[in-house]
Amino acid sequence: MPNIQAYWSREAMSKNSMASKVMTRNRFELLLRMLHFADNQDNPGKNLDQGHTTPTSVVMSLFEPILDSGRTLVTDNWYTSVDLAKRLMDRQTYLIGTLRKNRRGLPKDLVNKKLKCGEIAALENQDAGKSSADISDQMTAYQTPLRRTFK
């Protein structure tokens, strides 16, 4: 047969009475869409990085060429995780992003913290010395925000 629809054809040349007696063409096509044969044990793309979530593995593989250069990665809440932040910090790379409340490894005091509108909760690596916020505060203390302009 040239195609599947020919099994249900009304023409005498290509008519297959057995297929059309058992089920309709629409039902067969629906079953065919749902039928799937695959050996899921041997899926090369399934086990990217054992022990780490897939979004973390994707970010690490894409960002690999510029790790260890002191850059900052900004992600949305799908990719941001505590595991990713730790792995990036080990490679001298920083992470900024929103974090979902149900992520593994998130400290409970941070999850239950009530924030006001516009307030930010952040974690910093205490072992790294001064954070960039401390340095920024120190630099702004040396300069006055008021500037005189002459028009």
Question: Is the pTM here over 0.85, yes or no?
Answer: no
The helix/strand/coil state of 72 is strand
**Tens of pLDDT along 81-102?**
888 888 998 999 988 888 787 8
**Tens of pLDDT along 97-111?**
887 878 777 777 777
The helix/strand/coil state of 95 is strand
What angle do helix axes 82-90 and 54-63 make, rounded to 10 degrees? 30
Residues 6+ apart with CB under 8 A from 62: none
| Contact (Cβ atoms closer than 8 angstroms) between residue 120 and residue 138 | no
